[in-house]
Chains A and B, each alone.
Chain A
Amino acid sequence: MSELDNLLASREMILVAGSGGVGKTTVAASLGIAAAQRHKGKVLVLTVDPARRLASALGLQEVGNAPVRISPGAFAADGVKVRGEVWVAMLDTKAGWDELIRRHAPDTEVRDSVLANPLYQNITSRFIHSHEYLAMEQLHDLHATGEFDLVIVDTPPSRNALSILDAPSRMAEFFGGRLLRWLTVPYRSRLFTVASKPFYQVADRVLGSRFLQDIADFFVLFQAMESGFVRRAREVEALLVDPRTAFIVVTTLETAPSHEARFLAQSLLDRKMSLGAIVANQVLPEELAGSDAAKSASMLLELADGALARDVAEALGGVSVKQTSTVLTQVATRFDDLALVAARESDRRSELAALAPLMLCVPWMSGDIHDVAGLALIAGHLRGTG
């Protein structure tokens, strides 16, 4: 059993985090397949924004919160053996918010007023870390149903990788905070407090009182749901440090993403959250940085003009010696470029490996992954069987 198999077997919730563009969704889906290859039972991959072709390969034609199962036929067709069931669901933020409002509204009147509020739709899509929080809400729900043995969440691309960690506490602060109470005071008691008076004077002039009234109405409605929201956010927050939860940080070995990944990994450790593994994606072969290849490349550069070009041209059945010489020179020159990148990647890989109990690498592959076979290939690399 590989180390990844152990990790996936010992946890019930995996949060896949990392900066945008590193292949988080692909890795999350591959982890789901990796789990199903080794273990019986049901694994669910909750994705946020999959590339269209990947989504359709997974059977996610429609946006919606309801999980769908990847048909055993799809695995069989690609020759992929799985023991368990793989389910996928796509996060729908709008539907998620509607669901939250329905759950926390004290009565139908508040519920309908919120859902019909003109600001509501706008706000739900922009709300502080709305996507991050919703992803975790969903995780909480799906885990609570007990329907799945493992839930893997592909976290939303965020401007700051840390925001996923702070989302629940911010949500709790927002609804439980003094500010919200303070802001809504004049509209509840119709009395300006000494403290908020200057604010309303300025805000009225700047924003217009009508707009401010809309905002305040909205917040008053939301306050009716305060206790429910706060309790929920605290529960969701507890999930992050739950021993059944692990984070898997995904990155490429380029400068910015690996810097972000180091920062994220360190923050997880500082917060006593469980960092299960770091996955380096799109990694160049390590041999590229080796001395054998470098020696051959420099020798090739020296020899490309002379007899070697003639010998190679002959071996290829008498192609042009001059063109062969150009090709060999280019191959030798360009090797250095790639070797340099590979050497840097190798340094970054060691830096990252020092932070995590488990460091996994997925090699660079030609073409984007958009079918079950491709995901299974990555799963193989992650499990060390590829």
Chain B
Amino acid sequence: MRPALLDLDLLWVTGKGGVGKTTTAAALAEVAALHGRRTLVCEMDAKGALANAFDVGPLAFKPTTVAPGLEAMAMNTEDSLREYLRLFVKIPFLGRIGPLAKTFDFVADAAPGVKEILAVGKLCYEVRERTYDLIVVDAEASGHIVSQIGAPKVIADLVQVGLVRDQTQWMLDILNDPTRTGVTVVTTPEEMPVTETIELLGRLTAETGAHPAAVIANRVLPVLFSRREQRIADRLDEALPTLTRAAGSGMATVLDAARLTEQRRRTGAGHLDRLRSFLDSSPGIAENLPIITIPELFSRASGPRVVSLVADALIDELDPDTYPSEAEGR
């Protein structure tokens, strides 16, 4: 049985660039916190988008409280290395770590998996310490996520001995357990994002050991009409003279807008159908994987307001028994 999305310990949120990954991660974290889960949300790529989502100053490695029960942090390899050395290697000369970290950074840039494992290791460490009930990761885009989550596996394959090697097993235990760790793939109803989602789901578990938890379809246009109403809507052009006489010369543009919206909706629905039939025809890869829909909000602003709107939409979509709507929950 698939655990409810927010009952996991570690939830990765990925997707093609531009699909609303950060907003979705922030909203998932907000919903979890609203329902009493002590939640940490972590931005992995240091772009600052998560700080914008909560309208707070730059986030640091040390978590900041951004809402009741909700903390946010930005991953930083150097800080992670510092913490790692302090916790596991018991390095005495912490004050002089600067040049060491720089060198390490340099090795890590070239050596496979080293940088990633410091980041993943930090997240897994927090999971193990149970500082939070849930950690939501605003992860790398779908093109890079496999090397990120898969780092412990790569290290386990490449490194034969050493402390890092010893450290990988407990991380793998957390990452490979579908009741603890899940990957949410965010997409929009468009060709490339859906294709990347399908490709990622096809290789995720085989290459990283982690399991998909849900697909979130963002910016989905709602169905506006019943079938019979749609037939009327499709023919409104024929009544343009009547409409223009009554409502003015702008009616042609109003009808253009209606047509444009409907075309966009149909194109998008086609892509989501493709996604659904992939899920249906791929048992073992994405069995019973839910597709959670977030409607197009027609508000292209960013920041906390959009996060709250997306959070509301998520509450409607997630199991209503477990997550009563925001109004009832408060």
Q: Is B169 in contact with chain A by the CB < 8 A criterion?
A: no
Task: Determine whether B1 belongs to the interface, using a CB cutoff of 8 Å to chain A.
Answer: no
Would B254 and A297 count as touching, CB distance under 8 A? yes
Tell me how far the C-beta of B239 lies from the nearest C-beta in chain A, rounded to whole angstroms: 4
Chain A, range 265-285, C-beta contacts under 8 Å to B:
284-285
User: Which residues from B are CB-within-8-Å of A339?
Assistant: 257
Select from chain B the residue with minimum beta-carbon distance to A292: B250
Does chain A have a CB within 8 A of B195? yes
Task: Give A212 Cβ to nearest chain B Cβ, in Å.
Answer: 8
B243–A300 touching, CB < 8 Å: yes
Does the CB pair A203–B104 fall under 8 Å? yes
Chain-A contact segment, one of B60-68, B175-183, B207-215, B228-236: B228-236
Closest to A121 in B: B112
Q: Which residues of A sit under 8 angstroms from B298, Cβ to Cβ?
A: 337-338, 340-341
Question: Which A residues touch B206, using CB under 8 A?
Answer: none
Q: CA of A316 to CA of B256 in the docked complex: distance in angstroms?
A: 18
B160 in contact with A293 (CB, 8 Å): no
Nearest CB on A from B35, distance (A): 28
Q: Are A202 and B85 in contact (CB under 8 A)?
A: yes
CB within 8 Å of B: which A304-344 residues? 308, 311-313, 315-316, 319-320, 323-324, 326-327, 330-332, 334-335, 337-341, 344
Report which residue of B18, B238, B242 has the largest number of chain A beta carbons within 10 angstroms of its beta carbon.
B18
CB of A160 within 8 A of chain B? yes
Name the B residues within 8 Å of A126 (CB-CB): 110, 112, 147
B243 touches A323 (CB 8 A): no
A44 to B261, CA, bound (A): 36
Given contacts A20-B141, A199-B103, contact A52 B195 (CB under 8 A): yes
Q: Tell me the residues in window 35-86 of chain A with beta carbons closer than 8 Å to chain B beta carbons.
A: 51-53
Contacts of B4 in A (CB 8 A): none
* Residues on B with beta carbons closer than 8 Å to the beta carbon of A199: 99-100, 103-104
Check A209–B302 contact: CB distance below 8 A: no
| Bound CA–CA A341/B257 (angstroms) | 11
Q: Is the CB of B253 within 8 A of A293?
A: yes
Closest to A198 in B: B100
What is the distance, in angstroms, from A93's C-beta to the closest C-beta of chain B?
A: 12
Q: CB-nearest residue of chain B relative to A304?
A: B247
Interface residues of B, CB < 8 Å — how many?
Answer: 83
Interchain nearest-CB distance for A261 vs B (Å): 12
Q: For residue B263, which residue of chain A has the nearest CB?
A: A366
The distance in angstroms between the C-alpha atoms of A361 and B50, with both chains bound, is 30
**Interface membership of A192, Cβ < 8 A:** no
Per the 8 Å Cβ criterion, residues 330-375 of A in contact with B are: 330-332, 334-335, 337-341, 344, 364, 366-368
* Residue from B102, B141, B190, B253 in contact with A290 in the complex, judged by beta carbons closer than 8 Å: B253
A183 x B106 contact (CB < 8 A): yes
Q: Does B173 contact A (CB under 8 A)?
A: no
Q: Is the CB of B163 within 8 A of A205?
A: yes
Taking a contact as CB atoms under 8 Å apart, the answer to whether A331 and B258 are in contact is yes
B246 contacts A by Cβ under 8 Å? yes
Q: Once bound together, how far apart are the Cα atoms of A285 and B111, in whole Å?
A: 49
Q: Give every chain B residue within 8 A of A368 (Cβ-Cβ).
A: 190-192, 267
Cβ B257 vs Cβ A293 within 8 A: yes
Query: Chain A, 148-161, contact with B by CB distance < 8 Å: what is the 0/1 string?
Result: 00000000010110
A-side interface residues, number (CB < 8 Å): 86
A292 vs B253: C-alpha distance when bound (angstroms):
9
Q: Is the CB of A210 within 8 A of B246?
A: no
A191 on the B face (CB < 8 A) = no
| A150-177, CB < 8 A from B | 157, 159-160, 174
Q: Which residues of A contact B226 (CB under 8 A)?
A: 323
Cβ-based interface call for B269 (8 A): no
Are A208 and B164 touching (Cβ within 8 A)?
yes
Assess the B253–A198 pair: CB atoms within 8 A. Answer: no
| CA distance in complex: A364, B141 (Å) | 25
A113-146 vs B, Cβ < 8 Å mask (1 yes, 0 no): 0000011001100111000000000000000000
The residues of B that contact A245 with a CB separation of less than 8 Å are none
User: Does A238 sit within 8 A of B, measured CB to CB?
Assistant: no
A21 to B192, alpha carbons, bound, how many Å?
A: 8
Cβ–Cβ < 8 Å partners of A21 in chain B: 16-19, 190, 192-193
A259: min CB distance to chain B, Å: 9
When C-beta atoms are compared, the residue in chain B nearest to A23 turns out to be B192
Residues of B contacting A22 with CB < 8 Å? 18
A95 proximal to B (CB < 8 A) = no
Question: When the two chains form the complex, which single residue of B106, B159, B264 contacts A179, counting CB atoms closer than 8 Å?
Answer: B106
Q: Which of A20, A207, A315 contacts B17 (CB 8 A)?
A: A20
List, in ascending order, chain A residues with CB within 8 A of B224's CB.
330, 334
B162 within 8 A of partner (CB) = yes
CB–CB A366/B238 < 8 A:
no
| Residues of chain A lying within 8 A (CB to CB) of residue B135 | none
Indicate if B89 sits at the interface (CB-CB under 8 A): yes
A-B contact pairs, 12 of them (CB 8 A): A20-B16, A20-B18, A21-B17, A159-B47, A207-B162, A211-B158, A252-B18, A296-B250, A315-B242, A316-B238, A366-B264, A368-B192
The 10 A-B residue pairs with the shortest CB-CB distance, nearest first, are: A208-B162, A20-B17, A21-B18, A296-B250, A292-B250, A293-B253, A366-B263, A293-B250, A337-B298, A122-B112
Given A52-B195, A199-B99; 13 other pairs, CB 8 A cutoff:
A21-B190, A122-B112, A160-B47, A199-B100, A209-B162, A211-B111, A292-B253, A299-B247, A303-B247, A316-B238, A334-B224, A338-B260, A344-B300
